[in-house]
Homo-oligomer: A and B are copies of this chain.
Amino acid sequence: MKPKLSDVAKEAGVSPTTVSRVINNHGYLSAQTKQNVFDAMEKLHYQPNSLARSLKGKKTRIIGLIFPGITNPFFSELIEKLEKSLFLQGYKVILCNSADDVKKERDYLRMLLANQVDGIITGAHNLGIDEYQNTNLPIISFDRRYADKIPTISSDNLQGGVLATQTLYDAGARHIYFMGNPNQKGNPTDKRLQGYRQQIEALGLGSHVHPIYFDETPMIKQASIRRLLEKGQADGIVCADDLTAILVLQVAAMLKIKVPESLKVIGYDGTDFIRTYFPDLTTIVQPLDDIVMMLVKMLMHRIDNDEQLIDEEDFVLPISLYRGTTI
């Protein structure tokens, strides 16, 4: 059996209380006793049981992370940075892949609650408001609008849409398409399209949206992109994410469409990964480090200050442009 506190106590010849005190560095202990207890712990390979500890009211120091996937470089970088940052604060992370599946997200949310996590950071986006609303747990959301109780961090998607469009225009494109999810569900990312529309209008151009959905396989996206490019009307494309932009470049190469001469392409996200392995791609860069810092900071704040949200309004971080050769 696993050694428990009382085993250590017996081994060290003291009471369980004393051992607990040593572990938690509580109150006054004689150096000798401390040493005895440490030796006993060492000898028995003792590990305190976090469960029992948390049951007694202590925090679990576990944060739940709910995201729609981890293979997209944007999410893998975001999650890796979050994990890193939280680890430094002494937190572990339970990773929940909502996989764009409402049921799975709900299941996970329940599990996290059942496991008494200290807080949740979520970037998933299916659930009805109430499930999240119904808990008093500190929750911070990235790029998703859940409920008034839950602060949202995002980067400036509107400005991103504007900047992408303007950048294409400045480079000479006049038939600028937007490629991404046309559904407007009220999430911050919807603003990329809004920014596009807004700027298109300001420039006196025509607005064209080519729908590409998050849950389509790359093959399907590719076929869809091909249909668009074959028409040969677009000379500029604002892609709602970098991976889509890469598919556009692939299809363009396949169709022998010259980039950027005949077609200019701009992506969105600008992760380290993409900038390193697809340095050609011009893209709107989200400030990942700042996003992570804000998410963690606000979460920590909510955890430490039991008072409800104070001036916790939504927080929008500025984006920037990375210039590759596709424009």
Chain A interface category by residue count: 35 or more
Given contacts A95-B95, A114-B48, contact A70 B80 (CB under 8 A): yes
Would you call B84 and A218 a contact (CB within 8 A)? no
Would you call B279 and A250 a contact (CB within 8 A)? yes
Q: Is A202 an interface residue when CB atoms closer than 8 A count as contact? A: no
Q: Is A6 an interface residue when CB atoms closer than 8 A count as contact? A: no
User: Contacting chain B: which of A96-104, A159-167, A174-182, A223-231?
Assistant: A96-104
A296 → chain B, closest Cβ, in Å? Answer: 15
Would you call A115 and B92 a contact (CB within 8 A)? yes
Would you call A80 and B94 a contact (CB within 8 A)? no
Q: Which of B47, B113, B272 contacts A114 (CB 8 A)?
A: B47
Would you call B94 and A50 a contact (CB within 8 A)? no
What mask results when residues 105 to 142 of chain A are scored 1 for a CB within 8 Å of chain B, else 0? Answer: 00010110111100000000000000000100000000
Q: Which of B50, B54, B104, B250 contacts A87 (CB 8 A)?
A: B104
Would you call B92 and A47 a contact (CB within 8 A)? no
- Interface of chain A: mostly helix, strand, loop or mixed: helix
Residues on the B chain within 8 Å of A79, using CB: 70, 95
* Most chain B CB inside 10 Å of its own CB: which residue of A54, A65, A76, A111: A76
Residues on the B chain within 8 Å of A87, using CB: 97, 104
Would you call B93 and A94 a contact (CB within 8 A)? yes
Q: Is A83 an interface residue when CB atoms closer than 8 A count as contact? A: yes
A9 → chain B, closest Cβ, in Å? Answer: 18
**In the complex, A96 Cα to B96 Cα: how many Å?**
13
Q: Which of B50, B99, B104 contacts A115 (CB 8 A)?
A: B50
A214 → chain B, closest Cβ, in Å? Answer: 15
Q: Is A71 an interface residue when CB atoms closer than 8 A count as contact? A: yes
Mark out the residues of chain A between 243 and 287 whose CB falls within 8 Å of any chain B CB in the assembled complex: 243, 246-247, 250, 272-273, 276-279
Would you call A84 and B55 a contact (CB within 8 A)? no
A84 → chain B, closest Cβ, in Å? Answer: 7
Residues on the B chain within 8 Å of A16, using CB: none
**In the complex, A40 Cα to B65 Cα: how many Å?**
30
A110 → chain B, closest Cβ, in Å? Answer: 6
Would you call B92 and A92 a contact (CB within 8 A)? no
A272 → chain B, closest Cβ, in Å? Answer: 8
* CB nearest to A218 among chain B residues: B276
Residues on the B chain within 8 Å of A52, using CB: 55
**In the complex, A243 Cα to B276 Cα: how many Å?**
10
Residues on the B chain within 8 Å of A279, using CB: 250
Would you call B70 and A76 a contact (CB within 8 A)? yes
Would you call A95 and B83 a contact (CB within 8 A)? yes
14 new A-B contacts at CB < 8 Å, known A47-B114, A87-B97: A49-B55, A50-B111, A50-B115, A52-B55, A70-B83, A71-B77, A71-B272, A71-B273, A83-B95, A92-B96, A92-B115, A93-B95, A218-B277, A250-B279
Query: Can you list 19 pairs linking A and B with CB atoms under 8 Å apart?
Result: A45-B134, A47-B113, A50-B111, A50-B115, A51-B115, A52-B55, A55-B55, A62-B94, A70-B83, A71-B77, A73-B73, A83-B97, A84-B97, A87-B104, A92-B94, A92-B108, A93-B95, A94-B94, A218-B276
